[in-house]
A = this chain, B = another copy of it.
Amino acid sequence: MAVYTDVSFEELKLFLGAYNLGEPHVFKGIAEGVSNSNYFLQTSTGSYILTLYEVRVEAEDLPFYLGLMEHLAQRGIPCPIPVHADDGRVTGILNGRPAAVLTFLDGVSLRRPTPDHCHLAGQAMAQFHAAGSHFDQHRNNALGPDGWRQLVNDCAASADSIVPGLRGVIEEEVSVLHSLWPRDLPGGVIHADLFPDNVLFVNNRISGIIDLYFACNDALAYDLAVTLNAWCFETDGAFNVTNGRAMIAGYESQRKFTPGERACFPVLCRGAALRFLLTRLYDWINHNPAALVRPKNPKEFLRRLRFHRAVTDFRAYGF
């Protein structure tokens, strides 16, 4: 996590000329996000995040991401709000990158969420899903089953050098999940990456849902499967069913899962574990030491995947 594109104060001033944000008083690169450059900006009108989008694919999807944030914020979800320039645009170009100014949200992310935090996260996710319905843009999940197959192809040759036997596991898993994967669950806009880093708390209440740059249209229950993978496992790899039960109860306090969603939940959890196993594996293999980011170890999601493969009944998660 680092700043890739350096922005001087003079360049910032020029860029901010298109906005009505007042005089900048604080401007500091922050170690947030993996693929974009982020600056903390304080002006006479408030606190903001300035983001420079470094990756082409994200730039193409910016109208979706920024439009979604605005849509959700208008419906009470505490996500960052893109600031409009004087001419109405929400993106500009800064040092050759598309860039946006978003409102800054107070709050801290947790490393070891308690069951109470998991309950709140589940509840917030269901509210996110409800608020996202009727959003009029659409984005396919690039990291769904077809994306996994591509990642397996890219990583297969090196996988065994990371963990002996890993190639066989991912090749088999992607093929099994292709046939098991449910295609007709209730769908909508999902966050798709609601790890603890992306939920901010102030005084044990959620103050922010951030980093919507994987948001897409997919099965709603898959979103909870991602979050359960991210929040409900101990560092030693064990599933924390107390956290899982709290998260599911939080979600279902807003919207009950259908019988179909419940029945498919173990498969969705396998898919979510495979998705993060594969992207972390890809980043591990293709790590560029100059990228100023330390890749995350893929092994922890291999452990989660093994757990989910052994689950025979959705009730194991705390339903």
A: which residues have CB within 8 A of B?
Answer: 1-3, 8-12, 23-32, 40, 42, 106-112, 202-203, 289-290, 292-294
Nearest B-chain residue to A23, judged by Cβ: B203
The count of identical subunits is: 2
Complex Cα distance A203/B23, Å?
A: 8
Q: Is the CB of B31 within 8 A of A108?
A: no
| Distance to closest chain B CB from A243 (angstroms) | 15
Complex: A271 Cα to B315 Cα, angstroms: 72
Q: Which residues of chain B are within 8 angstroms of A28 by Cβ–Cβ distance?
A: 30-32, 40
Which chain B positions have C-beta within 8 A of A9?
108-111
A202 → B minimal CB distance (Å):
6
A108 contacts which of B26, B108, B110, B289 (Cβ < 8 Å)? B26
Interchain residue pairs with CB less than 8 A apart (29): A1-B2, A1-B3, A1-B29, A2-B31, A3-B31, A8-B110, A8-B111, A8-B112, A9-B108, A9-B109, A9-B110, A9-B111, A10-B110, A10-B111, A11-B111, A23-B203, A24-B108, A25-B106, A25-B107, A25-B108, A25-B202, A26-B107, A28-B31, A30-B40, A31-B31, A40-B40, A290-B294, A292-B292, A292-B293
Indicate if the CB atoms of A29 and B30 lie closer than 8 Å: yes
Question: What chain B residues lie within 8 Å of A3 (beta carbons)?
Answer: 1, 31
Considering the complex, give the chain B residue whose CB is closest to the CB of A293: B292
Residues from chain B with a CB closer than 8 A to the CB of A109 are: 9
Contact yes or no, B289 A290, CB < 8 A: yes
Complex-state Cα separation, A54 to B8, whole angstroms: 26
Cα of A111 to Cα of B289 in the assembled complex, Å: 27
User: What's the minimum C-beta distance from A289 to chain B, rounded to whole angstroms?
Assistant: 3
Chain B residue at minimal CB-CB distance from A203:
B23
- Which residues does chain B contribute within 8 Å of A30, judged by CB atoms? 28-31, 40
A26, A42, A109, A293: most-surrounded residue (chain B CB, <10 A): A26
> What separation, in Å, do the CA atoms of A263 and B110 have in the docked complex?
59
Give the Cβ gap from A30 to chain B, nearest Cβ, in Å: 5
- Alpha-carbon distance between A197 and B259 when the two chains are bound, in angstroms: 59
CB-CB < 8 A to A8: which residues of B?
A: 110-112
